[in-house]
């Protein structure tokens, strides 16, 4: 049997590449699907907002339901664990202002996310 | 052909290609932008493209289950088609009583639309206890007459002396078929694989009638339920369409050379 011809043909290479890509992707997902979400809430001046209520909602194609809530700490930081979503819908309520349903698309369900940009509330 | 004629011919071909590829481009563009189809003026270049709609489509329907159902049925259909069509095609290259009648019967069967035979096919499948099963979905497509005739024309192109030599060497008819005829008919095999795969993959009407539970749904059925449930998700819907179409396009693109050779080889026989 000509193993070289079997290994080096367009079918083996194409489907092999697909299988390899799926495998690598699943390994990456496996190491990054704890559902950790961290971020910071700041006001328009860039100062951290303490005690802001951050709500995480589930986005479906027909509705948006709140699944978890938390409150920011002294540095304006907040975190959720095991959020279980493939799209984050965040709302913030505070004395300094609010944010209404900011959607952050993810690559896979329960992806770990550290928000690079703080959530800026406005009155 | 003069230079002018070549330019005109290629110009027309390019226009036809653009016309045929525009809907495909539009589906791809909508799948990455989610633009409303009726926006005027329409934008040709995608504005802020992203793959989120694919993620949404993947999780909104149970894509993995639908994919594996379709894949399992298509694999079953492809294997059965290769096995049954090759045997039938080889048999039709032999001389036997009422061969002309059999060929006439096969050609006549091709002229009856599938829709006309749905009720007897359904009753037969029900009697066999195969409703709502993968085998039941695959049953009517386990053999295609077009593919039988394709094998027949390809097998007839194989020199008879080769078969005689194999027979003198002591090969049985089964081994002649599998060791000599099939390897010499690779274009026909590729054509069989492509046609049976695409027909099975895209089949909608028969699975719609036979399938009763979500667990047995195939991708086309998933697409329809997606469309029926969520009308406003243009981006996700088109992303789902692309995910449904990609496997059959991939199979076709990989085997298109042999596919075209397989379809034309019978025409140059003799």
Q: What is the CATH number of the domain that holds B159?
A: 1.10.3720.10
Mean pLDDT of B11-27: 93
Assess whether pLDDT exceeds 70 at residue A9.
Answer: yes
What pLDDT does residue B267 have?
52
> Does the pLDDT at position B79 exceed 90?
yes
Mutate to test the interface with A, among B32, B230, B243, B254 (most CBs of A within 10 A): B254
Q: Are residues A61 and A115 in the same domain?
A: yes
In a domain? residue B209:
yes
Nearest-by-CA chain A residue for B235 = A61
Partner-chain contact B230 A105, CB within 8 Å? no
B31 found inside a domain: no
Domains identified in chain B, total number: 1
pLDDT of residue B91: 94
Residue A108 phi, psi (nearest 5): -155, 165
3-class DSSP assignment, residue A97? strand
Q: What's the CA gap between B112 and A96, in Å, rounded?
A: 73
Residue A107 contacts B, CB cutoff 8 Å:
yes
> What is the arithmetic mean of pLDDT over A73-91?
90
pLDDT at B270: 43
pLDDT at B232 over 60: yes
How many structural domains comprise chain A?
2
Note the pLDDT of residue B131.
93
Q: Taking CB atoms and an 8 Å cutoff, what residues of chain A touch B230?
A: 61-62
Domain match, A17 and A75 both: no
Q: Is residue B270 within 8 Å of B264, Cβ to Cβ?
A: no
Q: How much is the pLDDT for A121?
A: 87
Do A47 and A77 fall into the same domain?
A: yes
CA distance A92 to B70: 44
Q: Which range of residues forms the domain containing residue A5?
A: 1-31
Q: Give the pLDDT band (50/70/90) at residue A62.
A: low
Residue partners of B137: CB distance under 8 A and separation at least 6: B73, B203, B206, B207, B210, B211, B216, B218
Q: Work out the average pLDDT over B226-236.
A: 72
Is residue B52 in some structural domain? no
Residues A49 and A18 in one domain: no
CB-based contact A14 B250, cutoff 8 Å:
yes
């Amino acid at each position: 049997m000509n193993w070289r011809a079997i290994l080096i043909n367009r079918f083996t290479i194409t489907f092999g590449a697909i299988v390899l890509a799926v495998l690598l992707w699943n390994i990456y997902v496996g190491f990054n699907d704890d559902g950790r979400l961290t971020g910071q809430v700041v006001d328009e001046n860039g100062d951290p907002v303490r005690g802001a209520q951050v709500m995480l909602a589930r986005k479906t194609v027909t509705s948006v339901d709140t699944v978890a809530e938390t409150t920011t700490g002294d540095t304006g930081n907040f975190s959720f664990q095991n959020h279980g979503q493939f799209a984050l819908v965040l709302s913030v309520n505070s004395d300094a202002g609010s944010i209404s349903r900011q959607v952050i698309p993810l690559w896979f369900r329960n992806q770990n996310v550290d928000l690079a940009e703080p959530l800026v509330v406005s009155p | 052909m003069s230079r002018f004629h070549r330019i005109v011919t290629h110009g027309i071909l390019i226009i036809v290609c653009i016309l045929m590829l525009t809907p495909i481009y539009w589906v791809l563009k909508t799948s990455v932008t989610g633009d409303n189809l009726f926006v005027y003026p329409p934008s040709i270049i995608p504005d802020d493209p992203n793959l989120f709609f694919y993620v949404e489509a993947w999780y909104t329907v149970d894509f993995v289950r639908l994919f594996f159902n379709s894949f399992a049925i298509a694999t079953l259909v492809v294997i059965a088609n290769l096995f049954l069509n090759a045997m039938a095609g080889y048999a039709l290259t032999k001389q036997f009583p009422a061969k002309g009648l059999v060929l006439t019967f096969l050609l006549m069967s091709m002229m009856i639309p599938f829709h006309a035979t749905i009720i007897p096919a359904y009753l037969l499948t029900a009697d066999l206890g195969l409703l709502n099963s993968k085998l039941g979905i695959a049953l009517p497509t386990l053999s295609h007459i077009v593919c039988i005739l394709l094998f027949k024309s390809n097998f007839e192109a194989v020199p008879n002396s080769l078969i005689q030599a194999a027979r003198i060497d002591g090969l049985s008819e089964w081994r002649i078929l599998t060791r000599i005829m099939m390897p010499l008919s690779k274009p026909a095999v590729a054509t069989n694989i492509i046609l049976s795969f695409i027909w099975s993959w895209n089949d909608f009407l028969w699975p719609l009638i036979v399938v009763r539970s979500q667990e047995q749904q195939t991708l086309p059925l998933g697409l329809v339920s997606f469309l029926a449930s969520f009308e406003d998700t243009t981006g996700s819907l088109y992303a789902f369409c692309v995910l449904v179409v990609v496997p059959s396009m991939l199979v076709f693109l990989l085997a298109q050379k042999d596919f075209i050779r397989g379809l034309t080889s019978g025409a140059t026989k003799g």
